[in-house]
């Protein structure tokens, strides 16, 4: 994707749903021309600036944050403000690893943004996979089971212990992208720390609502 693209996203997370044990029953999608075209088109969009509101709930724990995600290919900078009661958190990630800096002083290094956030604050957010799911794509390097809608768009997928349901699509400045997604984690895939701290947290779910984005000209592109 050329130029800056701002996404404004609302993410709501709860811990009450469960991933079904049976895989989604669907026909192989590889022969669907619309799906093939979408994959080729959207896989090139690897540059964006994303703004989001993130609310997380696991068992009795509930926190909120504002997130700004700047991505340039394989390099990302994720800023979280008011993140889970931790003030300001910045995560910088590239192919060599990730560094989390809390309130401009304390730093933690790890292999991925997911890892350093979990190690620091105890919250599990699948940033790597979300970078694809927000575009309506599966993560291409991992096994996946998918179901398409009648227009050749992702309707459901199961990947990396998550079930993602694509509830609604909209046009954003000429791009048809998911507007509403619902993510549910397999309880067995949750980190041991989350399972240990709250035995009632049988699963971890995320609802994502995308509202608008900018295309580098400071003019909001509202969904229609």
Residue 189 sits in a domain of what CATH number?
2.50.20.10
Q: 1 in a domain, yes or no?
A: no
- Whether residue 208 is contained in a domain is answered as yes
Write the CB contacts of 181 (distance below 8 Å, at least 6 apart in sequence). Answer: 133, 134, 164, 165, 166, 167, 206, 207, 208
* Confidence (pLDDT) at 184: 82
Q: CA 50 → CA 9, 178, 214, distances in Å?
A: 8, 14, 9
Alpha-helical regions (H) of the chain: 33-42, 113-121, 127-133, 192-197
pLDDT at 188: 75
Which domain does 32 fall in, by range?
A: 6-222
Is 79 among the domain residues? yes
| Three-class SS of 73-124 | CCEEEEEEECHHHCCEEEEEEECCEEEEEECCCEEEEECCHHHHHHHHHCCC
Domain count, the chain: 1
Q: Is 89 exposed, middle or buried (0-12, 13-18, 19+ CB in 10 A)?
A: buried
* Residue found by looking up tokens 């989001």 in the block: 52
Q: What does the block give as tokens for 84?
A: 């889970």
Give me the average pLDDT of each 10-residue run along the chain (224 residues): 46 47 48 88 83 72 78 90 78 96 89 92 85 92 93 94 92 80 78 50 70 53 47
Q: Is residue 135 part of a domain?
A: yes
pLDDT for 221 equals 47
Q: How far is CA 68 from the centre of its chain?
A: 12
Phi and psi for 144 in degrees, rounded to 5?
A: -150, 145
103 within a domain of the structure (yes/no): yes
């Amino acid at each position: 994707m050329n130029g800056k693209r701002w996404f404004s996203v609302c993410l709501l997370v709860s811990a009450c749903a469960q991933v079904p044990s049976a895989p989604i029953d669907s026909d192989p999608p590889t022969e669907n021309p619309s799906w093939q075209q979408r994959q080729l088109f959207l896989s090139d969009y690897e540059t964006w600036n994303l703004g989001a509101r993130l609310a997380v709930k696991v068992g009795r724990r509930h926190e909120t944050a504002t997130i700004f995600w700047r991505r340039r290919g394989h390099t990302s900078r994720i800023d979280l403000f008011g993140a889970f009661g931790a003030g300001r958190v910045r995560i910088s990630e590239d192919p060599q690893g990730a560094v989390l800096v809390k309130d401009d002083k304390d730093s933690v290094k790890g292999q991925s943004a997911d890892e350093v956030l979990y190690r620091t604050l105890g919250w599990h957010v699948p940033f790597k996979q979300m970078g694809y799911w927000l575009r309506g794509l599966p993560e291409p390097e991992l096994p996946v089971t998918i179901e398409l809608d009648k227009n050749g768009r992702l309707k459901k997928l199961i990947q990396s212990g998550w079930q993602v349901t694509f509830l609604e699509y909209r046009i954003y400045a000429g791009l048809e992208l998911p507007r509403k997604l619902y993510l549910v984690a397999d309880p067995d895939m949750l980190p041991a720390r989350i399972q240990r701290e709250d035995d009632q947290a049988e699963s971890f779910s995320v609802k994502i609502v995308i509202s608008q984005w900018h295309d580098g000209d400071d003019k909001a592109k509202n969904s229609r």
